[in-house]
Structure 1
Amino acid sequence: MDQMEAEDGEREPSPRIRAYVDDLLARWPDITEGEENDSPWADGPLLGNAWGDAIYFSVVWSRCEEAAEFAANLAQQHDLVCYDPQSEQLLPDLGGERRARRGWFARRR
């Protein structure tokens, strides 16, 4: 995150991140579409939180477990890694061996 935030200018979201966001929004609407009560997203537009090969997004506390589980499982389907900065863990819990081989936000190989 520090490296991404330190970059000058904006980087367009990668196709993989765009596809991931599209699938997140297929499940729950973006709050910028007037659907705040039906969505776990805490801010929007969701794609506005994406840079290059990463996205950082917040969810409302009352729906965090549901949204985190869905987002993490969906990330795996898109061959992405999901990191929860509050728990400081990769989601879903990937186990010690796999976790030790990866950096945060690194793509699965």
Structure 2
Amino acid sequence: MSYDLAVWDDDRPLDNHQAGLTYDELYERYLESDDVVVPPAQRIVAYVEALVARYPDDVGRNVVWASPPVIGEASGPIVYLLMSYGKAEEVSEYAAALAREHGLVCFDPQGECLRP
């Protein structure tokens, strides 16, 4: 079981509904499609590097990430973060704050709401 967040590079949506529409579009375009591999955008790479500096994605001893390496879940302007449920509260709080620091949007697809 995991807790998921989506982080993307764009202007912050006006509300949760608009964020959900943007999330759906980005997810379908960049994460669902296996046809075209799109390298992660530089701002997403910088964000993931900062995130794994605090919460490493060591595949062998991982207790934080449900799907390491984290950068493997990034494509174009979006990264989909899958956190182990036991660490979700701590890690998601940090991930959302870090996204804000990087000027990125953080969205909770389970709750269908913007974070923070």
Matched-pair identity in %: 43
- Normalising by the residue count of structure 1, what TM-score does the alignment of the two structures yield? 0.76
User: Which ranges of structure 1 fall in alignment gaps of 5 or more residues?
Assistant: 93-109
Length, aligned pairs only: 89
Higher relative contact order (CA 8 A, sep 6+): 2
Following TM superposition, the consecutive aligned residue runs of length 4 or more in structure 1 with deviations greater than 2 angstroms are 3-8
Kindly report which structure 2 residues correspond to 1:54-65, keeping only aligned pairs within 5 A, or say none. Answer: 54-65=78-89
Is this contact kept in 2: 1:11–1:51, CA < 8 A?
yes
Question: What letter matches 1:90 in structure 2?
Answer: L
Task: Within 5 Å, give how 1:1-109 maps onto structure 2.
Answer: 1-4=27-30, 5-6=32-33, 8-32=35-59, 34-37=60-63, 40-92=64-116
State the alpha-carbon separation in 2 of the partners of residues 35 and 15 from structure 1: 27
Q: TM-score, normalised by structure 2?
A: 0.71
In structure 2, runs of 5+ residues without a counterpart are: 1-26
